[in-house]
């Protein structure tokens, strides 16, 4: 009986309508649980935040399941057979019953041992970030929980709690991590999608090219720039990603492709031997992954274009148009939706204090908005690129950092988390698909230990926060400063 109930739970309860909520009359949806975190209280009621939007927290009723056509269980300690967005469900006398909870009970989450199989093929239409829920990265939630345990300031703890309600990207930065995180999170997003009835978008960063980050030391990858590792990249990494994505076909996915790689081909071939050695593997790797992953209708891909103080100058933009056009053409019939900028960087979205002049080394686009709005969109269109849309990483650019030159990138002091993940965030910029948190705030850019094998001089600059751990490891002090300087405030 238990097995039958578990296996048929999704089908049996998928048709239940969510309870109406007082906030709907005010133009806001209900939160998914009456036990959601209270972020604000006014005369209307208690408010929470889900997927970056305000929601009204439903008032618990004596028996919440009755309005859904089911009685409440006779005991609040009844065995939980199934959990969905409405609450926890038990079985009495062969019938479903709602288990009453007390205030402070954690919000219900999908039950991991209930197997959910993908449904019909999903196909992106227009902006991949619109009309979907954003999947919450469980690994990052756990990192923030651990960070909160180290805090004593109640205000800072409250800000950190809010960080857990926003989505960020899941980095597949080694073959091992790809195996650990890709299917696990696709499955979690699928469960959430089935339980809520809404499409759930998961964002992954594909990041393991041979000779990765050829111009940096802190984030060098596991694969070397040689034929053997290039083959491993294809068969052990991209092919596995393709296999899993093909299986999980009923849910939307966005891939952020190989940050920094193509931008390095635009600017660093002449100055950096490692980039010259990596060039053919970067080009071949992109062609392969676009051909493999760019044909999947539920997958939207964005190639990385660095940031305003990397490719913003006139000659760099002109060269970039040619490089990116060539790469996209090499991947046919695969398609690329657009491009990501400011990944893991600190350049503000807008900085009206800066203009083209000596202070910016005559860069005509000293912030990300001008970089996209006035320049890259026009230049890429002129280069013959058909689909030119952007996702800007706002995870760490809310506050103007203390760097002495806008090209500095390692653990910058003055950091502040920026605009929340949101689709179509700027009126009049229909080619800006989203603000999104691609680089998780709190994860280090690189170590400040000068004796470390992966030490990069940028991590020792005056404006780089020290002491800092290895790239990707948790950096508590940097995280806390990012919360304090958040703009908009948390």
Binding site as annotated, residues? 171, 173, 307, 310, 345, 409, 439, 443
Considering 260, 341, 367, 393, which one is annotated as catalytic? Answer: 260
467 vs 132: CA distance, rounded Å: 40
DSSP 265: H
Give the β-pairing of 88-92 and 82-83: antiparallel
Contacts 24+ apart (CB under 8 A), 7-16: 7/114, 7/115, 9/81, 9/82, 9/89, 9/114, 10/114, 10/116, 10/194, 10/195, 12/96, 13/82, 13/84, 13/89, 13/96, 14/194, 14/197, 16/68, 16/69, 16/84, 16/86
Give Cβ neighbours of residue 220 (< 8 Å, ≥ 6 apart).
212, 213, 454
Residue 78, sorted as left (phi over 0), alpha (psi -120 to 50) or beta, turns out to be beta
Please give the structure tokens belonging to residue 233: 């990249």
Q: What are phi and psi of 64, to 5 degrees?
A: -65, -25
Binding-site residues for substrate, in ranges, read 171, 173, 307, 310, 345, 409, 439, 443
253 vs 118: CA distance, rounded Å: 13
Give the E-state strand segments of 296-384 in sequence order: 299-304, 338-341
Cα dist from 439 to 51, 171, 208, 477, whole Å? 18, 9, 16, 16
In sequence order, the β-bridge partners of residue 88 are 83, 99
260 catalytic, yes or no?
yes
Considering 86, 213, 351, 445, which one is annotated as catalytic? Answer: 445
187 vs 181: CA distance, rounded Å: 10
Give burial (CB, 10 Å; 0-12/13-18/19+) of 97: buried
39 vs 47: CA distance, rounded Å: 6
Greatest alpha-carbon pair distance for the chain in Å reads: 79
145 catalytic, yes or no?
no
414 vs 105: CA distance, rounded Å: 37
Identify which of 414, 377, 376 has the alpha carbon closest to the alpha carbon of residue 398.
414
Helices 314-330 and 273-293 sit at what angle, rounded to 10 degrees?
50
Active site residues: 260, 445
């Amino acid at each position: 009986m238990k097995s039958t109930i578990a296996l048929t739970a999704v089908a049996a309860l998928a048709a239940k309508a969510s309870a109406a909520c007082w906030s709907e009359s005010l133009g806001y949806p209900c939160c998914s649980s009456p036990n959601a975190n209270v972020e604000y209280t006014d005369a209307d009621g208690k408010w929470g935040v889900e997927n970056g939007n305000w929601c009204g927290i439903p008032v618990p009723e004596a028996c919440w399941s009755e309005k859904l056509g089911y009685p409440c269980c006779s005991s609040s300690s009844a065995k939980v057979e199934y959990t969905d967005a409405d609450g926890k469900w038990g079985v009495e006398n062969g019938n479903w019953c709602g288990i009453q909870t007390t205030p402070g009970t954690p919000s219900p989450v999908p039950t991991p041992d209930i197997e959910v199989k993908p449904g019909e093929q999903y196909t992106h239409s227009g902006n991949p970030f619109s009309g979907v829920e954003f999947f919450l990265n469980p690994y990052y939630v756990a990192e923030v929980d651990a960070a909160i345990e180290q805090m004593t300031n109640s205000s800072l703890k409250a800000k950190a709690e809010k960080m857990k309600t926003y989505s960020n990207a899941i980095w597949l930065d080694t073959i091992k991590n790809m195996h650990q995180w890709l299917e696990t999170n696709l499955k979690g997003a699928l469960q959430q999608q089935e339980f809520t009835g809404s499409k759930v978008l998961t964002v992954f960063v594909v990041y393991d090219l041979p000779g990765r980050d050829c111009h940096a030391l802190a984030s060098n990858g596991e694969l070397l720039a040689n034929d053997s590792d290039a083959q491993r990249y294809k068969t052990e990494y991209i092919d596995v990603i393709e296999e899993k994505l093909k299986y999980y076909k009923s849910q939307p996915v966005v891939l952020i492709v190989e940050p920094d790689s193509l931008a390095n081909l635009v600017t660093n071939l002449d100055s950096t031997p490692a980039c010259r050695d990596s060039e053919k593997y970067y080009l071949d790797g992109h062609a392969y992954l676009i051909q493999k992953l760019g044909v999947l209708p539920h997958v939207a891909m964005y190639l990385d274009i660095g940031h305003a103080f990397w490719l913003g100058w006139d000659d760099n933009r002109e060269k970039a148009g040619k490089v990116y056009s060539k790469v996209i053409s090499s991947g046919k019939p695969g398609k690329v939706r657009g491009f990501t900028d400011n990944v893991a960087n600190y350049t503000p979205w807008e900085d009206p204090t800066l203009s083209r002049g000596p202070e910016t080394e005559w860069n005509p686009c000293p912030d990300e908005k001008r970089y996209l709005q006035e320049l890259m969109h026009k230049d890429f269109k002129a280069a013959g690129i058909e689909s030119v849309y952007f996702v800007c990483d706002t995870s760490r650019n809310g506050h103007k950092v203390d760097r002495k030159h806008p090209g500095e990138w390692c653990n910058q002091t003055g950091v502040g988390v920026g605009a929340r993940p949101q689709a179509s965030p700027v009126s009049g910029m229909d080619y800006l698909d989203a603000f999104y948190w691609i680089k998780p705030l709190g994860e280090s850019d690189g170590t400040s230990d000068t004796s470390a094998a992966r030490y990069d001089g940028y991590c020792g600059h005056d404006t780089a926060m020290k002491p800092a751990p290895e790239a990707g490891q948790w950096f508590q002090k940097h995280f806390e400063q990012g919360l304090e300087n958040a703009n908009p405030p948390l």
